[in-house]
Amino acid sequence: MLISGSNVKVTFKVGSIFKPQPLLAVAGVNFDIAEKETFAIVGESGSGKTTLARAINGLLPISSGKILFDDAELNTLSNKEMKAYRRQMAMIFQDPIGSLSPRMTVGNIITEPFRIHGMAFNLDKEIRRLLSLVGLPSHFIDRYPHQLSGGQARRVGVARAIALNPRLIIADEPTAGLDVSVQGEVLNLLNDLKHELGLSMLIITHNLHVVRRIADRMAVMYLGRFVEVNSTKTIFEAPAHPYTAALLSANPHPDPDYQHDRIALPADVPSLMARPSGCEFHTRCPWVKDKCHTEPPYDISAGGHIACHFPLKPNSKLPSP
């Protein structure tokens, strides 16, 4: 495996500065991403997706657990040691324009990683090569972020991410804020770069159409935990967790005559400061049973990970007896 995590937890201190309370944003997740694989994490806003992504990249500290990159435990490395591994991991941030410095030209933005890592060579030639890879003409070198459209800014962010030939790209909502036609262009670009450069990718999104198009495997996150992990094909064809089934049922369909069989969930998501007992999804689950109120679910799947006492049967939205 290229990168893996074991019981990863991320905790924040919230409330009064005199009596801060711990908030468990990522509550013990396990994951692995193979070479040249695309792994997606989906879930509602606030489920902990971006927090986990930033923890993987070292932008946030983890409170416990392990993150291994090529068998090196990242959370035990010094800043100097971690800098070498950061060359192998790159981040595409959610806001296409806001993630670019307004005081820097496109050329300076793309070459900044080289300057940070002390790599001096013909940067002008490298800028033009990177711009060409992401489908932008060379005259964009002297433009500033405010002179770019959302799609152009996203391409600049991609060029910056691939500048140092990383092995893993972490893309946080890569299509957020973009027109539908531009979303397709960005997805095609990422897919082409994955195959051309041999990249592994971690995609953070709530857009299920994105996941179905480019992800090999996916994880569904709820209240900082993975409730289902499996191949994208398996989950879309036969979701096993009620939360996954509800998310998929709410996915918009381009056919206006399509008959939606949506699963309505209560809108109120439990507070991370007052997690429900037993299965944490039981307060919203349409098929909750007595056992769900008191006993945390455990992994009972044969192939993937399913955190549910009564997983759904294939081709059915009813739980197993």
pLDDT score recorded for residue 161: 93
Please state, in angstroms and rounded to a whole number, the distance separating the CA atoms of residues 208 and 312. 20
Contacts of 126 (CB under 8 A, 6+ apart): 111, 114, 163
198 Rama sector, left if φ>0, alpha if ψ -120 to 50, beta otherwise: left
pLDDT of residue 258: 67
| Residue owning tokens 């939606």 | 260
**Whole-number Å distance between alpha carbons of 15 and 101:** 32
| Torsion angle of the four alpha carbons 250, 256, 258, 262, in this order, in degrees rounded to the nearest 10 | 20
**Closest to 227 measured CA to CA, from 294, 173, 284, 279:** 279
Q: Coil, strand or helix: which one is 125?
A: helix
Under 8 Å between Cβ of 141 and 127: yes
Count of CB atoms situated within 10 Å of the CB of 257:
5
| Nearest alpha-carbon partner for 143 in 98, 186, 103 | 103
Q: What is the pLDDT of residue 304?
A: 74
Which portions of the chain are predicted below pLDDT 50? 317-321
Between β-strands 200-204 and 217-222, what pairing exists: parallel, antiparallel or unpaired? unpaired
What domains can you pick out in the chain, each with its CATH number?
A: 3-237 (3.40.50.300), 240-253+260-321 (no CATH)
Name the percent of the chain in helix, strand, coil, to the closest 5.
Answer: 35, 20, 45
82-119 tens-digit pLDDT:
888 888 999 999 888 889 999 999 999 999 998 888 88
CA separation for the pair 291, 305 (Å, rounded): 19
Q: For position 106, what pLDDT does the model report?
A: 94
Residue located via tokens 């897919």: 191
